[in-house]
Chains A and B, each alone.
Chain A
Amino acid sequence: MPSESLTSMENGAAADTAAAIRNYVRANMTALRDVDLRDDDNFFEKGFVTSIFAMQMLDFIESTFGIEVPDDRITLQNFSSIDSMTRMVGELKHAAGE
């Protein structure tokens, strides 16, 4: 369920990015929990994901979007919600001239 703030600023590419991240997060959420995941939910705080998730997410983002996340971008804040990851991927792609 995309949050309103993001919905209003989504363009096509960002929507695709968000959808890919959303699918990956959903496929990796702890299985035996019924959760309604919002794009602005901090899934570390809500305990939606297992502990290896952060590392997998970084690999997923780098391999799916063909970008390298620089050291100073690897912060819990940037990886804590679908919104924050979508924003970061958009900025990194923009910086790479895409």
Chain B
Amino acid sequence: MSAKPEINADDMVNIEINGVPMQAAKGSMIIHAADDANIYIPRFCYHKKLPIAANCRMCLVEVEGVPKPLPACATPVMDGMKVLTSSDFAKKAQQGVMEFLLINHPLDCPICDQGGECELQDIAMGYGRSVSRFAEKKRIVKDKNIGPLIATEMTRCIHCTRCIRTIELVGGDKELGGMGRGTKTLIGTYIERSVNSEMSGNVIDVCPVGALTAKPSRFAARAWEMRSTAGVAGHDCIGSNINTHIRNKEVVRVVPAENEKINEVWISDRDRYAYEGLNSDSRLTAPMIKVNGEWVETDWNTALEEVVEGMRANKDNLAGLMSPNVTTEEAFLMQKLLRDMGATSVDHRIGQQDFSDDGQAPLASSLGSSVEALESLDAALLIGSNIRHDQPIASHRLRKAADNGAKVMLLNSIDFDINFPIAEFIITHPDAFAADLAAMVKVALEQNSSATPDGLGALINDVIVTDVHRDIVANLTSANNSSVIIGAQAMALADLSVIRSLAGLLATLTNAQFGYLSRGANSIGASLAGAVPYAGVGGKAVSAGRNAKEMFDSPAAAYMLMNVEPEHDCIDPVQATSALKAADFVVCLTPFASDVMRDYADVLLPTAPYSETSGTFVNAAGTWQRFSANCAPLGETRPAWKVLRVLGNLLDLNGYDYLSSEEVRAEVARDTGQLKLDNTQDWQCPASLGGASGIVRITDLPIYAVDNVVRRADALQQTVHAVSETIAMNQATADKLGVSGAIRVVVAQHDDEISGELCIDARIADDCVLVSSGTVLSSGLGVPYQTITVTKD
């Protein structure tokens, strides 16, 4: 239900721009009509995605019959209006404005990072005069430190206020402002502080001059030295479109590519700056094998022979694990290879522990709507989601909805910092999620007096219903367009299957859509491609194998790992690393090498990260987005699809003669063609709603710890959102545990123990102890959402 009004003739007026007759919507501005007709009017403050400020006056045009020039961005069209954008009169006005703008702007483009891609430079060339009559002193403004991501050179600022509007509208908080007035106006934060929005980098793109530029890539390349190549961001399930700028085979920076349906013109800082990880020192550049415990570099043939031997020798007990960030083609080929070898254990759901509804739950957990549609929701219940950090673009869409009055509601264990109005929220122990959802289901059942599904009656009889539950259900029911969404953080819950059943039922009862914002860039693509142990490509029946957790609980003899770092990524890092160490043979297809990897692996094959391979990501909305390699693979690195293809041939398997990743994709597309993404599932009554299990360790997936690339991106790791190596709980829990006031505490779970700094964090629910995943601390612990003990160190 998108709220786009039908345009009928009455709403249109006839105007003329530069003699070209055209129609324009009533109430729209001259600049809109001109842009639609491809007639360029110079502008600085106007930006199609931002509220109109009309403060730069660069867009002055002549309107017949009006004695003064008018700003095209702020002058509504009127019937019969005749606009001249480049008459002598208009040009003179534009030149005048240009001259004023350049009064204080330094004329030293050769030493400015923006030189060559500067709107001011371009417009000065096209619309300015060649001389300046200003002989007085130019003003100089001290640069500000606004954090590790954005470099400032405020002397260059022309006060268009685009950055202020962007950070408020897209970043979600008003972090920048215009201080002072007149010639003394300064753009900044007033007090020295960093700009912390997870979307902050967007101010760089909107800044028409070199005042705000990307700090990590500052002075690294000139605009004309870089090749811009299209791509798809690989760190969340939104699949923002990006342009990757390459110089000398290296990614220099990443900027958004416009896609109205997905990311509009924005990207998250994670998608913008993660590329630094691609250039990290820990990149593996040549195949390596372990000979007598020593690592030696070798050629591809030798390494692949090693792999063939290792896999053949252990073919009866082989398992394969990949991250949800691999391409669809890679996922497909890896599961095909393993299955052709007779293996059954292959999975990509690295962060999940409850697999009890495999086969009943949907094969691929999708959003159930387009990304764009999030902004037309009237109500949404998010379960286990830190949407602002999990999928910043989805959060931006949802914020637009919330600003329009949508009721966004949350069920979480951590009171995450959300930058839009939240109508209702429940911050509770994860063991209570099921009971809370059951209470909502109970309300919904009473309300629409529908039959209670099998077995549910007994379960919900005793659940306590509160006003919050009633309000949530009322909001969902009364909305025209509502959605119940399970978030990325929920994927790790111990009772995911129960949450899934109840949430799905709640959605049905309240007439809401039901969807997921899951973890990783391509969990849907991987699932469709058959990278799950209970189904092959397109959901095809297969002989079932062990899932991402079981394959370590009952260890395999040999493992193939692709683009995954189990010590950080797996649900049970301790179990995973010990199984890998004990295995006979481990091969890693990986862009990076780490010490842990060198410890357990036998062969390391350098495979391409997303920037160096072609492939396809399927986003949360089910959109297949294909991309090509942005640059040549580093050193001896090869795209994983090629490596798997060659392995297939070396293993004498049939059907590995693909000439391009396109062919692989075509095969997956053919085999999944009939499959519609659908989140409905048959009602499975949960055995119980669980119950209080005391002090549990909870986890979250910090924004800059989500995958191997992001974890290596330096600038992101210097921000306030960098991974924090702490053991966090609220004051009440600390008191209860008797650790209040301690500097360090010890967390013990079964035989595992970690010790770390105690952090008192009021956002965390009672009886919960947060050790974030992706951290060094968490790699010393087992499965999250289990009981632990905490003592003073």
A binds B: no
